[in-house]
Structure 1
Amino acid sequence: MTDNSNRNSGQKDNSVYLISIAVTLAVVAWGYWAPENFGAFAKALFTGLTKYFGWGYLLTMNVFVLFCLFMAFGRFRHVRLGLPEDRPEHSNISWFAMLFSAGMGVGLVFYGAAEPLIHFGNVPFGAEPGSIQAARDAMQISFFHWGLHPWAGYAVIAMPMAYYQFRRNSPGLISSLFIPLVGQKAVDGAFGKIVDVLAIFATLAGITTSLGLGTLQLSSGLNEVMGMDKTVMIQIVIIVFLAVFYTGSAVMGIDRGIKWVANFNLLVCLGLMVTLFLVGPTLPIVDSLMTGIGDYVSGLIKESFSMAPYGGPYESHLKNWTLYYWAWWIAWAPFVGSFVARISRGRTIAEFVAGVLIVPALGSFTWFAIFGTSGLHLQLVQGIDIAAQVTKDISVGVFALYKYYPLGFIMSVLMLVLITTFFVTSANSATFVLSMYSNHGDLNPSKSKMGVWGVLMAALAIVLLMTGGLQNLQTVSLAAAPPFAIIMVCACASLWRSLAKDETEGKL
């Protein structure tokens, strides 16, 4: 792989930037003017992908987990993502706060209490719905969905991108991953542009729909806490409010904006976890965490490869949950992976894998143990049918939970703050990465492009929210998952090839 310091200066055209905006606007126009046709296409597309490529989702995600563990314990574990003399730019706490907020935070808030309750009433493993075994299975499923696999997908993009950016001076583009495999000429040509446009579309579609879904949850929270009506006008005001914050923090940069919000997130998150742990069913939470980790580890291989060759209830669960999640993590990988790479300079590969794979998984387990167990305890021990409330409207999950515990109102208000700041950190990271992609991979992109992407994301979310197309665009964005699964496998091969070559040439 050659030094690519001239790629930024040599490539002056804005074709990737303009094409990606045109494609995105065309898709949204389709959703606006023909929502029923758009919805039918989106549903048929996702059904076909899960039916014919479901095995591919499972297989590639398993490959990513194994590759990350192999790298962490292999002969390259002490290699730094950067030059040998480089050291981390950010403290461990700030680094973890930023990567966790960008990659998972808003999802944990949305599903932390709700997902175990939904599985509790519809367990695919044969346990009687509503039973004690169903509760245990529900926690195991939630741990599996939010464990090692999502972060492995992010890591296999972030590792090679960080290595190439900080050791080879490559631009921060997904297409740079292919230089060791297909050569500089192909990456600078149409092939590279297609890869980068696909990355921009997947990132924009994913974060825009998350903005819309996060807005719906905030609207539900305001309704529960303050009695505010869930109207479209209020939801538009929420989007505009969020847009000001995430665009502003992105323009301020990583050190002055993104890192500050991420650190604040972590404090509020820990505060809410500790509070519910103390006022909730403390001992059952500890027991659930221990049991859940044991069930996760013991069932990891089986669940990682389980399909539904003979149909049955598990087939529906696989399609609606596991495969949907796996496709979603893959579609988000270019955005989260690029951002994690940007903030990981100077980390060794072993340190990187521990911080990006192991620590976030343990954090997710703890979150689900606290919030999931608190909800299941209400259902099983106190006889409160909270599962019915959550199944009816998943966005009210955590707020419905808080109503039955001391300090519930205060925790609900803090949760509204956390949802806001968690989304802001995801969106400002996405704004930063989109600007990198459309600015020839510049690791310090122009503020004007950040402003354009920030406004465009808000505008798209508003249009789609008004036309009911958010869920459809989210589904269409998952079409990026199969080609990106291939890109991610190539990223693994590319990193290994580069490391082996550098080792042979004595550059490590």
Structure 2
Amino acid sequence: MDSSDRTIFKVSVGIAAVFVLIGVLIPNQLSAAMGVAQSFVLESFGWFYQLVATFFLGFAIFMIFSKYGKIKLGKQDAKPEYSRPTWFAMLFSAGMGIGLLFYGVSEPIAHFATPPLGDGSTEQSAMLGMRYTWLHWGLHAWAIYAIVALALAYQKFNKGAPGLMSATLYPVLGEKVKGPIGRTVDVVAVFATLFGVAASLGLGSQQINAGLEYLIGIPNNFMVQMVIMAIITILFIISANTGISRGIKYLSNTNMTIATLLLVAMLILGPTLFLLNMFTTSLGTYVQNVALMGLRISPFDSNEAAWTQGWTIFYWAWWISWTPFVGMFIARVSKGRTIREFTVAVLLVPSLVCALWFTIFGGTGIYLELIQGLNVSGQGLETALFYVYQQLPFGILLSILTVALITTFFVTSADSATFVLGMLTTGGKLNPSSRVKVTWGIILVAATLVLMASGGLAGLQTAIIVSALPLTFIVLVMCYGLVKALNQELSESSSNKPTKKEKLFSKKTAS
């Protein structure tokens, strides 16, 4: 590492260590401070998050149909490193794995019982709940990922820039990205990644604990979750040191295989016809209302506004905080794709999979409560899935597969995160040293435990919402810089093309 890289590494590790130390020494004060910060950001910037999330979706769609679509990420003869199935698996595993299992049943059933508007536990709230779940995990989320990943991939593979968030701002800031401004951008990206991934790891440890309680009676408490995280920390550090083409690739394929088995099993064992009908209806209402839902604030109803802040705004902040992590990882595995192919794949394929997932898992939970009268909505967020399994054939087997899948998703997410944090703090190196990755692995787990101890899920949410705000402005500048760089490339390529007169002259000369 050169001196600049060492500065970013030392500053980032130092601030993270101070945060962990504060959480250990004065957890109550940290929790109170984070609560105040969360309330301020949600109430003052909720409208801003809604607008920018909608803008990012519009920008991604624009990139698909724009004149830039044919530009390849890399040289003209660049070939993709991975097959499409493996590529899709890696996109999906890095993106939302743990969250799908944690919220698969619990979010649709929560919206069904307490909808964003109107009465709960009705047929109308069931459809509304599914529609808003699609909103939170669908096109908006993957558009945010696609934009950041595209900017990173273009600068890396087309311009030879380091794999850093600051490098995407070069078309706007020029050489200033190599100074204090660029280093600040990278430090912001480090902490957004740290807290964004910490939330997923916290959810994962809670649900693994819930699954083990259901299967073998292990108590569901913070101490057990600490042990779970310690064991899995060892696993993902081992995986991180095997490299992206071995550890992460194989785990991603394993994740997709188990996830597909669970999805098909739930569709067959659950109320199949009901789920297919719900998917079709939800697709129509989602497409019809996606813009309205993505801009809804409810300025005249404080209860509805609080619902939007606690769910929709939180999700936009979560996805933005994940963009350095997921964006950098997607960029790393997407060399050789055209901008159009890349954006269509990142935007549509995972969105469709998420829609299917939530319809099948959440729809089963809704069916059990609305039609059969069971109390699914009364279960905790981390236990709702296992409660649903209890009502189905082969419930024990499904629970075992789910605990295994959460574990591999946990390892993949932490593995990818240490890789990305290593890149961000070593000048964009594609293969950070084991020492750097292990350092970030330990800090990541320590930060997760501190956040869980000082506020549980609420503490994790607060860290995400606050850390995502400065990163949002960076991504907006990134969009402008990407268009500016692409326009320059098209201008340069068109100036190098022979004119009609030159073509005619060359033909005459040849004849």
- TM-score range relative to shorter protein: over 0.9
CA distance in 1, matches of 2:399, 2:230: 22
> Which deviates the most, 11-20 or 142-151?
11-20
Q: Is 1:339 matched up with 2:329? A: yes
- In structure 2, the CA distance between the partners of 1:15 and 1:473, relative to structure 1 (3 Å rule), is farther
Once the two structures are superposed, what CA deviation does each residue of 1:21-66 show, in whole Å capped at 9, x if it has no partner? 1111112222222222211211111111111111110111111111
Q: Is 1:369 matched up with 2:356? A: no
- In structure 2, the CA distance between the partners of 1:11 and 1:29, relative to structure 1 (3 Å rule), is closer
Structure 2 unpaired stretches of 5+: 497-511
Once the two structures are superposed, what CA deviation does each residue of 1:397-432 show, in whole Å capped at 9, x if it has no partner? 110110000011100000000111112111111011
**Structure 1 residues 168-187: aligned runs within 5 Å:** 168-184=159-175, 186-187=176-177
**Structure 1 residues 408-447: aligned runs within 5 Å:** 408-447=395-434
Match of 2:471 in 1: 484
Q: Is 1:455 matched up with 2:437? A: no
CA distance in 2, matches of 1:25, 1:206: 17
Q: 1:59 aligns with which of 45, 51, 61?
A: 51
- Aligned residue type for 1:281: P
Match of 1:39 in 2: 31
Larger CA Rg, structure 1 vs 2? 2
- Aligned residue type for 1:77: G
What is the deviation of 1:449? 1.0
Match of 1:257 in 2: 247
CA distance in 2, matches of 1:280, 1:57: 37
What is the deviation of 1:474? 4.2
> Which deviates the most, 439-448 or 9-18?
9-18
- Aligned residue type for 2:269: V
**Structure 1 residues 349-368: aligned runs within 5 Å:** 349-368=339-358
Match of 1:121 in 2: 113
Match of 1:230 in 2: 220
Number of residue pairs matched?
495
**Structure 1 residues 102-251: aligned runs within 5 Å:** 102-126=94-118, 128-184=119-175, 186-251=176-241
Tell me the TM-score normalized by structure 1. 0.94
- Aligned residue type for 1:452: T
Secondary structure of 1:387's partner?
coil
Contact 1:98 1:425 in 2 (8 A): no
Secondary structure of 1:388's partner?
coil
Contact 2:42 2:313 in 1 (8 A): yes
Match of 1:394 in 2: 381
Contact 2:452 2:460 in 1 (8 A): no
Once the two structures are superposed, what CA deviation does each residue of 1:148-203 show, in whole Å capped at 9, x if it has no partner? 0111111111001101101111001101011110112x111111111111111111
Contact 2:163 2:424 in 1 (8 A): yes
Once the two structures are superposed, what CA deviation does each residue of 1:257-278 show, in whole Å capped at 9, x if it has no partner? 1010000000000000101111
- Aligned residue type for 2:414: A
Once the two structures are superposed, what CA deviation does each residue of 1:186-234 show, in whole Å capped at 9, x if it has no partner? 1111111111111111111222232222111111110011111124443
What is the deviation of 1:461? 3.2
- Aligned residue type for 1:451: V
- In structure 2, the CA distance between the partners of 1:66 and 1:463, relative to structure 1 (3 Å rule), is closer
What is the deviation of 1:460? 3.3
> Which deviates the most, 308-317 or 132-141?
308-317
- In structure 2, the CA distance between the partners of 1:204 and 1:63, relative to structure 1 (3 Å rule), is same
Contact 2:102 2:203 in 1 (8 A): no
- In structure 2, the CA distance between the partners of 1:100 and 1:257, relative to structure 1 (3 Å rule), is same
Match of 1:3 in 2: none
Q: CA RMSD in A?
A: 1.6
Contact 1:31 1:469 in 2 (8 A): no
- Aligned residue type for 2:45: F
Q: Is 1:78 matched up with 2:70? A: yes
Match of 1:6 in 2: none
Q: Is 1:303 matched up with 2:288? A: no
What is the deviation of 1:491? 1.1
Contact 2:75 2:157 in 1 (8 A): yes
